[in-house]
A and B are shown apart, each in its own frame.
Chain A
Amino acid sequence: MRVALAEDGALFREGLLMLLQAAGHEVVGCTADGDALVELLASQPADVAILDIRMPPEPDGGLVTAERLRAAHPDMGLLFLSHYAESHYLMRILRIGTDSIGYRLKEKVGSVDVLTDTLDRIGSGEIVIEPVLAKRLVERPRGDKKGVVATLSERELDVLRLMAEGRSNNGIAAQLFVTPKAVEKHIANIFGKLNLHADTAEHHRRVLAVLTYLRSQRDGD
């Protein structure tokens, strides 16, 4: 895969560059800020751009850079890396795009397998959400949603958490060692219990429905 990256911390940038190369990816560009990356990618094609959120040109320059990249190259995947996994940033990221987009903790992409899996999923159009964050969203339901989430079976909770990570049916099936058909059944049950419309067949719309549901319990944005 052709990857470009922008990160202002030299130590992390160099480490990521080496790990990407070890994983067999072609790194077409490596910059210390968002503006330089936008300029570089104007002439250089890439499949996925990896962006630090907290970097120049602004306090959260990664988001501004991503908006510009998405406008200029709609097919280019975007992977945000951050020291913090917060739902505030997740919502801002999903406003930039809901396909071929990912948000992960910096220390959680430190293996060839995880890095490649993350990039592959983004490359094939999925949303990738940091499992730590997805877990927090599912495990800390609030207010009136608390009771509803509590009615889910343990297996259904596993499926909900993996859905909140942005995983496809096949991805969920592989994680839980069950058939995709069984996953479909669990998802139908979850959507029934959460009172969500089952017509969100399309993968990323379904993920969004789940995230919006989990998010809406927190009164406000």
Chain B
Amino acid sequence: MMLEPAQCAGDAPRTAPEQGTPEESSSAVTPGTPRTAYPTTDPEQATRLPAPAPDARRRSERDQWLRRRRLERQLHDGAALRISALTLQLGLFRHRVPDAEPDLHASIESLQDELHAVLQELRDVAGKIYPPLLDEAGLGPALREAADRIETPLRIDAPADRFGPAAEGAAYFAIIECLAAIDAAACEPVTQKPGAQEPEAHETATGPVEVLVRRDTDEQDGGVLAVELTGVDVRHAEPMLDQVRRLGGTIDVAGGPGSGTITARIPCE
């Protein structure tokens, strides 16, 4: 569900749904229909285009991640910068308005506050397209920053290595979606033990989720980005699979449904 903002933010939308669907059985209709609809009037004669080879599918999935990263940069260098510059111009304007106009001063200030709110929303969207910190500093810093917004306590162990924008993007959103699912599940039942009274007691009961990022070497490829989540309900692995399989990745689960380990492996380019 985190993917949606990217699909409505720019040039991604037309291709993104097509990327997702070919996996399913109904998929081949989607790419085939628009092209063949015009030359022939007989629906019987529609030619179904062959499904792309796995390699081609993976390549276009990587392109999607590059496109998402470009979109984030475009927001930063374009709209965001313009709006920031606008706040400076308003500041200059306010400075030129005589002090005898306090109402005007207040109006200009509230306009500036409004622009700050607009920028906060843009930052939020940018973070869902491709977190700038992920682009600039990698999985470790991006996950630590995201830990701020997640209730479940995390322990993150990530190397400074980089794994490429596609593998990092898929891993990041897979982890975030899994943690969001854990957060949501933790909010639902209030089946606290009788002894627990503090909110933190709940967390100690859950225990921190350990996030371990490492590079698994693979002989054929450049390497595999492996992410291990320990201390999680393995039922939350399902949404992660969607993220990683499009890049040819895999998910392994171990341990019981209560507290187990989810390991995602994503080949790097």
Contact = CB atoms under 8 A, between A and B. Distances in A.
Contacts of A115: 91
Contact of B92 (A18, A136, A146): A18
B89 A15 contact: yes
A193 interface: no
B111 to A, nearest CB: 10
B144 A110 contact: no
A106 interface: yes
Contacts of A182: none
A91 to B, nearest CB: 9
Interface residues of A, number: 38
Contacts of A15: 85, 88-89, 92
B211 to A, nearest CB: 10
Interface string A124-156: 000000000000100010111011000000000
A109 B92 CA distance: 11
B199 interface: yes
Interface string B111-145: 01001100100010000000011011100110011
A218 B153 CA distance: 8
Nearest to B136: A59
B176 interface: no
A19 interface: yes
Contacts of B57: none
Given A86-B133, A143-B203, A111 B112 contact: yes
A207 to B, nearest CB: 20
Nearest to B152: A142
B181 interface: no
A219 B156 contact: yes
A110 B96 CA distance: 13
A23 B94 CA distance: 12
Given A11-B85, A107-B112, A112-B91, A146 B200 contact: yes
A95 interface: no
A83 B80 contact: yes
- Could you say which interface size class chain B belongs to? 35 or more
A108 interface: yes
B82 A220 contact: no
A57 B115 CA distance: 29
B103 interface: no
B208 interface: yes
Contacts of A84: 123, 132-133
Contact of B112 (A9, A110, A136): A110
Which residue among B115, B137, B148, B157 has the maximum number of chain A CB atoms within 10 Å of its CB?
Answer: B148
Nearest to A14: B85
Contacts of B154: 219
Contact of A218 (B87, B123, B147, B203): B147
Interface string A70-96: 000000000000011011100000000
A221 interface: yes
B203 A220 contact: no
Given A19-B91, A59-B136, A88-B141, A9 B77 contact: yes
A107 B116 contact: yes
A183 interface: no
Given A9-B85, A219-B155, A220-B140, A107 B115 contact: yes
Contacts of A143: 153, 200, 203, 208
Which residue among B94, B115, B141 has the maximum number of chain A CB atoms within 10 Å of its CB?
Answer: B141
Q: Which 7 A-B pairs have the closest CB atoms?
A: A15-B88, A110-B87, A110-B91, A106-B84, A11-B85, A111-B91, A107-B87
Interface of A: 9, 11-12, 14-16, 18-19, 22-23, 54, 59-60, 83-84, 86-88, 105-112, 115, 136, 140, 142-144, 146-147, 218-221
Given A19-B92, A143-B200, A219-B156, 13 more contacts: A14-B85, A19-B95, A22-B95, A54-B76, A87-B145, A88-B137, A105-B119, A108-B116, A110-B91, A111-B94, A111-B112, A143-B203, A220-B140
Interface of B: 76-77, 80-85, 87-92, 94-96, 109, 112, 115-116, 119, 123, 132-133, 135-137, 140-141, 144-145, 147-149, 153-157, 198-200, 203, 208
10 contacts: A15-B88, A15-B92, A88-B137, A107-B87, A110-B91, A111-B91, A147-B198, A147-B200, A218-B144, A219-B154
